[in-house]
């Protein structure tokens, strides 16, 4: 992916945003769950990442190519590198699922309570109507 998205040539003077955008959009957060600023800052964190074509392993090249300055990605600020951005994005990706799960459980409990009240009052309410 580093090669195909041209990150192997990403340097601090000209960060390439392709890799950062794909990591956030396709592999962690999904479309619309990050800002353009997050992409730009993440691209800075991935500068200097390359691929050793002989061993096929990812490595951070010379510090000369990496932007070691302070960055803010998805609300976290610091002297972030690519590994930090991957950790931040992975944690952020798990959060929306957990929130959706809690909301779904709350809606189901509310619907159950509405149906129970309706039954006590002698009315029949479908599960679909109780969910509204």
Question: Which residues does residue 50 pair with via DSSP β-bridges, in sequence order?
Answer: 59
Q: What is the mean pLDDT of residues 86-102?
A: 77
Q: Which residues contact 118 (CB under 8 A, 6 or more apart)?
A: 124, 125, 130
pLDDT greater than 60 at residue 72: yes
- The widest CA-to-CA distance across the chain, in whole angstroms, is 76
Q: pLDDT at position 70, please?
A: 97
- Which letter, b or e, does each residue of 37-46 get, where b requires 16 or more Cβ atoms within 10 Å of its Cβ? ebbebbbbbb
Q: pLDDT at position 130, please?
A: 46
Q: pLDDT at position 6, please?
A: 79
Q: pLDDT at position 17, please?
A: 94
- 0.85 exceeded by the pTM? no
Q: What is the mean pLDDT of residues 18-38?
A: 90
């Amino acid at each position: 992916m580093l090669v195909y998205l041209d990150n192997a040539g990403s340097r601090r003077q000209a960060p390439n945003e392709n890799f950062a955008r794909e990591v956030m959009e396709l592999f962690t957060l999904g479309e619309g769950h990050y800002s353009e600023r997050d992409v730009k800052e993440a691209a800075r964190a991935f500068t200097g990442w390359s691929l050793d074509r002989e061993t096929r392993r990812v490595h951070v090249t010379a510090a000369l190519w990496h932007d070691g300055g302070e960055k803010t990605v998805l609300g976290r600020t610091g002297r972030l590198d690519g590994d930090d951005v991957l950790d931040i994005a992975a944690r952020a990706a798990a959060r929306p699922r957990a929130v959706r799960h809690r909301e779904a459980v709350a809606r189901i409990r509310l619907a159950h309570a509405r149906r129970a009240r309706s039954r006590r009052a002698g009315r029949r309410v479908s599960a679909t109507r109780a969910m509204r």
